[in-house]
Amino acid sequence: MKKPAITSTPIHDLIAQRWSGRAYDPAKAVSREQISALLEAARWAPSCYGDQPWRFIVWDRNTDAASWQRAFDCLAPGNQSWVKNAPLLMLTVADSLFNHNSQPNRWAQYDTGAAAENFCLQAEALGLMAHQMGGFDADKARATFGVPLQFMPMAMVAVGYPADPVTFTPEVAERETAPRKRRELGELFFEGAWAKPVV
């Protein structure tokens, strides 16, 4: 299923086609080659001083169902209701200290977001769907998977193939086919001074 962004000016198709759907095909696994490509895309994101503060933990239900289930158990119930069909889960984590000098890195979360977006765009390029989530228990994830205190859990990501729309229940169909929305450019982007809409 495709659900392209309706943009005010043309943008690259890869960006326009990327969206955070919630209906996954439970029968289709993500291959090891695809996982490697997703992580390679994330690896080449830009970062302050080239420090690469991101760390990702990946759980593949088809190769390690027990670990995938422990990750799934960290999700908020509302997310569990649809993530249950995603074959791949991932946790993005940001290092609070620079690697090169052990000083606080206030750009780590920004840079980790860039790596996650590279990951999501690569998923789109591979015909996969990636959905980032803030609804998870970060403390539980940290304790369950041994994440050191220096690192901040940022988001969990579900990855898999989109489900065939013919399999949608009426509730899922309504959610998945609802129009995509964004604020107008001038509400978010300014020119010359704060709150002066870009034209």
Report CA torsion sign: 180, 172, 62, 128: negative
Q: List % helix, strand, coil for the chain (3-state, nearest 5).
A: 40, 20, 45
From the CA atom positions of the chain, what is the Rg in Å?
18
Q: Classify residue 7 as exposed, middle or buried by CB count within 10 Å of its CB (0-12, 13-18, 19+).
A: exposed
Q: CA–CA distance from 64 to each of 2, 59, 67 (Å)?
A: 30, 7, 6
Residue 185 host element (H or E): helix 185-188
Q: What is the pLDDT of residue 2?
A: 83
Q: CA–CA distance from 135 to each of 15, 84, 97, 138, 192 (Å)?
A: 24, 14, 25, 9, 36
Of the candidates 79, 78, 93, 65, which has an alpha carbon nearest to the alpha carbon of residue 158? 79
Q: What is the pLDDT of residue 166?
A: 85
Q: Classify residue 100 as exposed, middle or buried by CB count within 10 Å of its CB (0-12, 13-18, 19+).
A: exposed
23-170: CATH topology: NADH Oxidase (3.40.109)
Q: Which two tokens stand for residue 175?
A: 């959610």
pLDDT tens digit string along 153-189? 999 999 999 998 888 888 888 888 888 899 999 999 9
Low-confidence ranges of the chain (pLDDT < 50): none
Q: What is the pLDDT of residue 37?
A: 98
